[in-house]
């Protein structure tokens, strides 16, 4: 198992213990598995968690770039979840 530290921003901040949450994944898991594991962990910690699709429409970024849907997590790392924003 590897640990992925997910840094929380925007609407997700209210769900974490401060600014991040740690999710455990099997080695070579993809972004879909990360999203599922993160949603499960958030629901376990916050019974009322329902993101209304926010998690699905959010971007995930590594240290220097937005992660593609083909990414595979091969070792413990940190990523940021970036909810969509709007405004003018």
For residues 71 and 80, what is the distance between their CA atoms, to the nearest angstrom? 14
Kindly report which listed range (19-23, 24-28, 45-49) carries the lowest average pLDDT score.
45-49
CATH entry 3.10.20.30 includes domain 2-82: yes
| Closest to 79 (Cα-Cα) out of 32, 65, 70, 69 | 65
For residues 57 and 47, what is the distance between their CA atoms, to the nearest angstrom? 21
Mean pLDDT, all residues of the chain:
89
Q: Could you read off the pLDDT of 35-67 as tens digits, one per residue? A: 999 999 988 888 777 777 888 899 999 989 999
Q: What is the pTM of this model?
A: 0.88
> Considering the chain, what percentage of its residues have pLDDT values greater than 90?
58
| Closest to 35 (Cα-Cα) out of 11, 54, 14, 10 | 54
Which pLDDT score, from 0 to 100, does residue 65 have?
95
Domain residue limits, the chain: 2-82
Question: Which two tokens mark 82?
Answer: 């970036």
For residues 49 and 76, what is the distance between their CA atoms, to the nearest angstrom? 26
């Amino acid at each position: 198992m590897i640990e992925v530290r997910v840094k929380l921003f925007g609407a997700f901040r209210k769900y974490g213990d401060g600014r991040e949450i740690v999710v455990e994944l099997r080695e070579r898991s993809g972004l879909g598995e990360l999203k599922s594991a993160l949603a499960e962990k958030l629901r376990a910690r916050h019974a009322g968690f329902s993101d209304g699709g926010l998690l699905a429409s959010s971007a995930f970024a590594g240290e220097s770039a937005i992660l593609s849907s083909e990414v595979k997590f091969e070792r413990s790392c940190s990523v940021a979840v970036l909810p969509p924003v709007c405004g003018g």
